[in-house]
Amino acid sequence: MYKTILTTICLFTNLLLSTIVKADNGELDRKIKLPRKKENIYKLLKDVSDKTGFLFIYDSEVIDNNKPASISKGEYTIREAIYTITGNKNIRLSIIENYILISSPREEKQETSSESAPPKEEIFTVHGQLYDKLSGTPIPYAAVGITDHPIGTITNQDGEFKLVLPDSLLSSSIRFSHVGYQSGNVKTFLLADKYMAFSLEPKIVPLQEVVVRAITPKDILAEMLEKREQNYAAAPVYSTAFYREGVRVRNKDIDLTEAVLKIYKTGYNDNSDNYQVKLLKKRQINDRRHEELIIAKMRSGIYSCLQLDIVKTIPDFLANNKDQLYDYTYTNMTVIDGRKVYIISFEQKPNIKEALFKGDLYIDTENHALLQAEFEVHPDYIKKVAGALIEKKSKSLDLTPKQARYLLTYKELDGVYYINHIRIDLNFRVKEKRRLFSSSLDVWCEMVNCMTEVENVLPIPKEDRVAVNKIFSDARFEYDKDFWGSFNIIVQEDKLRESVLQILEKQSR
């Protein structure tokens, strides 16, 4: 029986490095012309990148992206341009494939002094920020993962990412992808324990690549459902996922809960809600001085995220009877991870006065796999579903839903697609009785699949399971800066990070 979503929401060693470093760094003496400009270091280095085709890799302790810099109009060698922009002639520059590696003299010596010594650390960290190459703006919610390996994460809303990886993956490549961009790959060992400012180029599908034919949204959706079993896992899988949820009142974060979960999921041809979750790590950071403001909490946040795997739990806008409720249009074609994708938009029919959905579905043009979905509760009727979205905590408050938005993406591994990222954002207006003005309340949660396992997958023992249909944030945990260890997480955004530091500072007084 089909369900609506509203009913479910309550190295290689240094030897390799030395073999691919170009012996002739004469490219650094190639001359380029640059205009007079005053910007931060990142944007000026981007101009050099645009002129030369080289991308930059550097540690954040060596180069400060946001530091103001300037350059005069004129002709420079690439080396001179970098020295001028960074204001540092003591840095070392090396060309590695199509990258310019900027390092301190100490780093350079370490990288080339030994050709066969194995790395000492068992794990290493890759971190940085992903940008739009043309606009220079951060790219949020991009997939960041090891090529042909089940480990990955996503960028946060500021485009930042972080991966903690075993040293056995130093010889692999990291892949960056996002809807509407040409995917990018970079050798993992180049990024080990360095900060990277990486950019993706927007990809526009040329008209000559689009097959001129009648595209019927109904047929595309039917094909997607028909090929569901061959595109998605039929057998149970384990997912090691990072989950977080938060409460923001009057644009101030006052509650954050984060966890690492091990999830047992049955195959996509199993219509049961057999989700089993084991809690591996958890913490909560709460501004106790404002506890009276925490008037609402996410109901069943983990369960809601699991139910948003809409290929498994089919919602009404994908069900066989969808034509009775929704209108569908083909709106565009784009790319995701190098593959052409149809964008199918949907909205409830004008005569339907219930709170349904509107949004976009991204479906692969060749294998008809659903790769991404973005949708929201129709804003004209959202007030009807307040009780289904929130657990009200005070009778003295009027809670009016303003927006309920959902994002989910799938990632391919060995020809099979798995849920990758889920995000739920709920926005409310809150008015206390007998008070004139209202305030904003945002409740949000998200889950990212950091690792998929398909071998020896067994149900999680009952004694190890956590209830996923409860208010997850109720338990209190002490903050520990070394809490996560080798687990992969979503990096906190600047705004959230600032709020957390403020809360911790208050609690330490």
- pLDDT per residue as tens, the chain (509 positions): 444 455 444 322 233 333 333 434 578 999 999 999 999 888 898 889 888 988 888 776 788 878 899 999 999 999 999 999 999 988 888 887 778 888 876 544 444 433 444 444 478 888 888 988 888 889 999 999 998 888 999 999 999 999 989 888 988 999 999 999 999 888 888 888 777 778 888 987 765 555 555 678 989 999 999 999 899 998 999 999 999 988 888 777 778 888 899 999 998 877 666 789 998 888 877 765 554 444 456 567 888 899 999 999 899 999 877 778 999 999 888 999 989 999 999 999 999 989 999 999 999 999 999 999 999 999 999 988 877 776 655 666 777 889 999 999 999 999 999 999 999 999 988 877 666 677 788 889 999 999 999 999 999 999 988 887 776 766 555 556 666 777 888 888 777 777 666 666 665 55
pTM (2 decimals)?
A: 0.82
12-116 folds as Phage tail protein beta-alpha-beta fold (3.55.50)
Res 133: pLDDT = 83
Res 438: pLDDT = 74
Rounded Cα distance between 256 and 141, Å, is 19
Question: According to CATH, what is the number of the domain 119-204?
Answer: 2.60.40.1120
Q: What is the DSSP letter of 492?
A: P
Res 496: pLDDT = 77
Rounded Cα distance between 376 and 489, Å, is 26
Res 308: pLDDT = 92
Helix (H, G, I), strand (E, B) or coil at 421: strand
Res 395: pLDDT = 67
Res 121: pLDDT = 46
CA distances from 321 to 201, 311, 316 (A): 39, 16, 8
CA distances from 400 to 41, 298, 371, 384, 429 (A): 45, 15, 32, 9, 5
Q: What is the DSSP letter of 475?
A: S
Domain ranges of the chain: 12-116, 119-204, 217-508
Where is 326: in which H helix or E strand?
strand 326-336
